[in-house]
Each structure stands twice: as structure tokens, then as C-alpha cells.
Amino acid sequence: MQVNDVGESLDAKALGDCLVRHNGFVVTAESCTGGLIGGALTSVAGSSKWFDRGWITYTNKAKHEQLGVSEETLKDFGAVSEPVARQMAAGALAMAPQATLALAVTGIAGPGGGSPDKPVGLVWFGFARRAEDDVIVSSIHRVFVGNRQAVREATVTFALQHALKWINQDD
């Protein structure tokens, strides 16, 4: 993650600037990053103008209780899956009425926990945004290489960059 001379994440600053231009607020729902996305966002001075809140939902129970992720979805697809990432993002947006954008991540940072179908480094990203009277949800996955720290850092960078690109589609 690139930072400026005062320790602010450049990607988070760019996302914050975009949110300010659109009078928006962002929320986060994090599993494998354990709050690193929220930390990157709040590293930016003045982030209280566009960062609302975040959830660290590391367990399935937390994902269900705090974000409304369906127990059936967790059972059928597992925590590291597209449906869970999408439900995490939609749930975070629903729990924060002033938010206009939600970023969610769920993945396998390693070093263990992977399988042939879900290797170490697999991360699912969920994005949800309010658009007039509707909520638009998007998802994408990546497989990052490296140790646990590298996977988590790459996840933060990708989440911020992709969120910025996604919300700028309409500009």
C-alpha cells in the first residue's frame, strides 16, 4: 500500500476525495483483513467526512448476526465465497442508513486453511452502493500470492482501488 509523507494511504485518500465529491459515506465489512481496510481509510485526515463505520466479522456467527449473512449460504457455499461477500456488502449497507458504499472482503490469508477449490490467497470482494431507490451489488475475486501479510495487504489495496473504479463508472 502506497502512503504519502503523512502516512495516509493514497488509495484511501483518492476514494475519500471521490466520496466527498458525491456526498457519500463508506462502510466496511471485513473478515480476512481484520480491520485493515477501515484502518487504511481512517489513516486519511478528515476521513470522518466520508467514513461511517466498519465491521470485523471473522466468524460465521458474526457474519450472520451482524450483517445478516444467511446461515444457509454459509453452510452451502462456505465463508469464502461470492454469495457471502455479496451478502456481507449488502448487509453492511443496510445496517448503515447514511452510507452510500460498502466494501466487504472474505478470504483465506494463510498460511493454512486452503484447499484445491479454495487456495490460500483466495479473496472474494463484495461491493454495494445506493443508486436512487436501489442497491447495486457487485463481486469479484482474486488469488494473491505471498505470505499472510502480503495477501492481506494486497487485499486492502485491491479493495480500495476497485471500489474507486467501481463508483467512478457513473462519472
What is the rounded distance in angstroms from the CA atom of residue 27 to the CA atom of residue 13?
15
Which pLDDT score, from 0 to 100, does residue 38 have? Answer: 97
Q: Is 33 a member of any domain?
A: yes
Who contacts 149 (Cβ-Cβ below 8 Å, separation ≥6)? none
Range of the domain at 39: 10-170
Count of domains observed in the chain: 1
Q: Note down pLDDT in tens along the chain; length 171 residues.
A: 665 555 567 899 999 999 999 999 999 999 999 999 999 999 999 999 999 999 999 999 999 999 999 999 999 999 999 999 999 999 999 999 999 999 999 999 999 999 999 999 999 999 999 988 899 999 999 999 999 999 999 999 999 999 999 888 754
Residue type at 18? C
What are the C-alpha distances in Å from 66 to residues 60, 70, 146, 151? 10, 11, 30, 25
State the Cα angle at 130 between 95 and 80, rounded to 5°.
Answer: 60
Residue 121: which of 112, 130, 131 has the closest Cα? Answer: 112
Which CATH number does the domain housing residue 26 bear? 3.90.950.20
Q: Is 153 a member of any domain?
A: yes
Which pLDDT score, from 0 to 100, does residue 33 have? Answer: 98
The x, y and z cell numbers of residue 36, run together, are 485493515
Q: Read off the pTM.
A: 0.94
Q: Is 4 a member of any domain?
A: no
Q: In what order do the strands lie in the sheet with 122-131?
A: 51-56, 26-30, 101-107, 122-131, 134-143
Q: Is 1 a member of any domain?
A: no
Which pLDDT score, from 0 to 100, does residue 75 have? Answer: 98
Which pLDDT score, from 0 to 100, does residue 129 have? Answer: 96
